[in-house]
């Protein structure tokens, strides 16, 4: 083989090695990004569950008190002001 062909093969092998390294690096970055995204989604799910639970508790009908309010005539003041 001539030196020119050998140099071309060597350059091609170096290029292939560099591309393979780039692909490996991209795969690792994508894995890290997907892991971070998965963590973010899990955090969002927990937050939304907490919000939903909080809103359901807030919107749920409150148990009524068994105390009956004393009827007042329009001119009588509320009971708390009669002390």
Q: Residue 63: what pLDDT?
A: 74
Residue 78 located in a structural domain: no
Structure tokens at 82: 């009669």
Structure tokens at 41: 């989604």
Ordered mean pLDDT values, 10 residues apiece, the chain (83 residues): 89 98 98 98 96 86 67 63 53
Residue 52 located in a structural domain: yes
Cβ-contact 72, 78 below 8 angstroms: yes
Counting the structural domains of the chain, the total is 1
User: 38 is in which domain, residue-wise?
Assistant: 20-58
Residue 37 located in a structural domain: yes
Residue 68 located in a structural domain: no
Residue 29 located in a structural domain: yes
Residue 67 located in a structural domain: no
């Amino acid at each position: 083989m001539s030196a020119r062909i050998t140099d071309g093969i060597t350059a091609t092998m170096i290029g292939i090695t560099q591309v393979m390294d780039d692909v490996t690096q991209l795969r690792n970055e994508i894995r890290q990004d997907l892991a971070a995204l998965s963590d973010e989604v899990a955090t969002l799910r927990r937050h939304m569950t907490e919000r939903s639970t909080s809103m359901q508790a807030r919107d749920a009908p409150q148990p009524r008190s068994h105390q009956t309010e004393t009827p007042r005539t329009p001119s009588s003041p509320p009971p708390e002001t009669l002390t």
